[in-house]
Chains A and B, each alone.
Chain A
């Protein structure tokens, strides 16, 4: 039997400072998540400079907590992994420089992990990804549909050509006067509402790409115009109609991919996968087509370092190590990422 691989992983791409120790790409030995969400809620969204400052203040505390929960010693750790893209530059940099310093002091190789890959590999925590599988990443920065052919090989089918699904949820929530973070509040309102608003269907094509900006603008204008006319907005109803329009579009593209590829497994990943309606609708369409539906526990859907440790494992096995000139990237085209790692 080969030796266990234990990775210390760091995630600081947005407003969570998180570290984890992960064995063999799926076994969480220790996990700490320090969320700044309450601070940012006061400003109606994540303020990048505040996020960077809080990461710097939190980083050694999170490290201490993570090492305390770990039963082993530093000698048992094989590598240090860190998110380098995509995310807020200043925030990413705190995690990156921390990882480099740990790599130097502990004399362990450094692994650079793409945050989106982390969301996908979070699916290995409670189950094991079966290849090939279709994967949908939905988050504040992403709406990507991919085929995972094997542990190291993937193909991008389509992405959002404008706003990500998470951004649109937050924007619509803001327009409706709901507090940050918008997604969960839209969902709560939608449960109480009726689908009475007629909204445009996002993209009427057969590509695997998504587009949500038209739907977003329509709602922004609708609310604005109704206000000017002195008409009341039925917030719960609009939340419901919006959610149906947005999720329908995602479900339609996923169904298309299921039918065209014949792949029998589907994984959902990213922060927006915490959305119950999206989960239910995707699970339904998977069942109808005899496709096995997988989604991580909600804890591993939102930003956390455990998923970064999972995604670092295949990179460790291929000895894809980063050097100390590693820099943060605010965005990384997933297509280029796939090319680069072929």
Chain B
């Protein structure tokens, strides 16, 4: 596994390395590299396919200023959407892409991304040890030879609860989301993957198959459910649908619904939980909020990562590393967690208040490894059929 090296990455270094690689390319190919040939096109552009919350204007401005480069983001919602975009549209349109869970390995296996050089990301030294490839192995390929992604933020898909409305004894299990006592006061997101995977954990628990031997010989993974478990999951999701007020489309909608006390419990990425906790502290809402990160049956988790596209040229590869490095710099990173509300992979406790440390899971990084990481469904076709049956029921 490559080790993290100390040092800094300056614009000069980026340009120097880019120019050297271009010169080498020119010698090999017999023609000059594109950014040397076209001196008019002086501003290099870093094209990113990314989640919108990470496009933080101050960090982008600092990057553009330091590296005299243009930051050109395109936003997506779910992993499969971004993957499809690169798979179908090719990797030429993007230099960087984001993903979480098992997806970085899939990107790398499919030749859509290339390995990262952690030596060019000195700020990895500030990242909690739990999020280095030796502990969080999904950041490297299966053989552990290449680092395929750099960590960004982490979290779970836990259940946020209005604890003034939900009885204490009902909290702590995924079963809460099927409790008819609270009919019409639940909401889930509209993405089929999380809905099926979370309910799949409960289904396997109810069937007693979760802790038994698995067909693939590996530990239980809610993205690799058997046909019986999928059938039970479908049954539970259909049962749950009758209890839902709606499937929220974004976090603003969930915030509104929870603030209006229309929704009392919702599985989510802890974004609403954090906003509501701050509001409660400021006295702007009159109910208590809690978040169950890992229900007793098990929970889903994610670690968002940065990857470099397989087709990124040498200059853009350097820029991509420079972006990751700048992003992970403590002064910038504290802004990331405050702005996104996600758990931080960088240790920024020295820059935070006690409340913030608790809110952004700064003392809970070890829990990430206890969650089932977001993965590719075993059969998207089969899962699609189940989700359609649920939606049509």
Does chain A bind chain B?
no
Using a CB–CB distance below 8 Å, which chain B residues touch chain A? none
Using a CB–CB distance below 8 Å, which chain A residues touch chain B? none
